[in-house]
Amino acid sequence: MPERTRGLITAVCGALALSWIPWSIDPGSGWISAAVQSAVFVALAVSGVVWPGGKVVAVRCAQRFVVNPAVRILMSVGLNPLGLVILETTGRVSGRRRRTPVGSGFRDGTLWVIAEHGMRANYVRNMIVEPHVRVRVRRGWRQVWIDGVGTVLPDDDPIAGQRQIVGRNPLRAFNALNVRLLGAELLTIRIDPIDSQMSQGRTKPSVSQGRTKPSAIIQSRATTAGS
């Protein structure tokens, strides 16, 4: 069984367990809510296989107009319920700053992000055109912006990378479950912080080092799909 299929099945089982645990503790609370939630989770998983394009449009609308604005407001006042970071990219057409809440994790001084919609995500397309990004992360009690260079890794295994990002952090585990359920085409993103590299005496990464040409990504995906 492919790794991504196992990851999706694991996410669905976890979501179903979270739906039915309250009812199992207190059967008097009723089962209808748990049944509705279960149906939604199964529909999300199936739609990602049957009609990924439609799933992306539906999820993107919900995130753009409901989820992301609420998350940005919470993070602006210091609340971060899911351990997210704000990723700032430059619009590939408008040239304006675009900020998106994403789940991430540091590993060996590098920030890793799993894009749930892959190449369909606008921030991923922005990053390909302009790899220089900023990320708002927590350092101690403060929220700080760090500069970095983003690289798209189409050949990386996003499920394996996600497990390493999550570790034993329950907030990241919950976010990973959401990414697998809501996502249609997971993709690994690596962000190399510029300030950490400079502090260690290494050369500042150039645009050419961080840039991955769209044609190369498309060719890589075509090769993978045909293998």
What percent of the chain has a predicted confidence (pLDDT) above 70? 83
Most confident of 98-102, 136-140, 210-214: 98-102
The CATH number that applies at residue 112 is 2.30.110.10
Token pair 């040409």: residue: 213
- Residue 45, pLDDT > 90, answer no
Residues 45 and 73 in one domain: no
Given this model, what pLDDT does residue 219 score?
Answer: 39
Q: 9-33 pLDDT, tens per residue?
A: 887 888 888 888 888 888 777 788 8
Residues 135 and 46 in one domain: no
Residues 10 and 65 in one domain: no
Residues 76 and 157 in one domain: yes
Residues 16 and 60 in one domain: no
Pairing state between β 132-139 and 85-90: antiparallel
Residues 174 and 77 in one domain: yes
Residues 43 and 94 in one domain: no
6, 159 contact by CB (below 8 A): yes
148, 8 contact by CB (below 8 A): no
Residues 101 and 72 in one domain: yes
Number of H helices, E strands in the chain: 10, 7
What is the domain range of residue 213?
A: 55-226
Q: 111-166 pLDDT, tens per residue?
A: 999 998 999 999 999 999 999 999 998 777 788 899 999 999 999 999 888 888 88
Residues 110 and 217 in one domain: yes
- Residue 80, pLDDT > 50, answer yes
Name the domain count of the chain. 2
- Residue 63, pLDDT > 80, answer yes
Least confident of 11-15, 97-101, 190-194: 11-15
172, 103 contact by CB (below 8 A): yes
Given this model, what pLDDT does residue 98 score?
Answer: 94
Residues 185 and 73 in one domain: yes
Token pair 């959401």: residue: 178
Most confident of 26-35, 107-116, 176-185, 218-227: 107-116
Residues 90 and 126 in one domain: yes
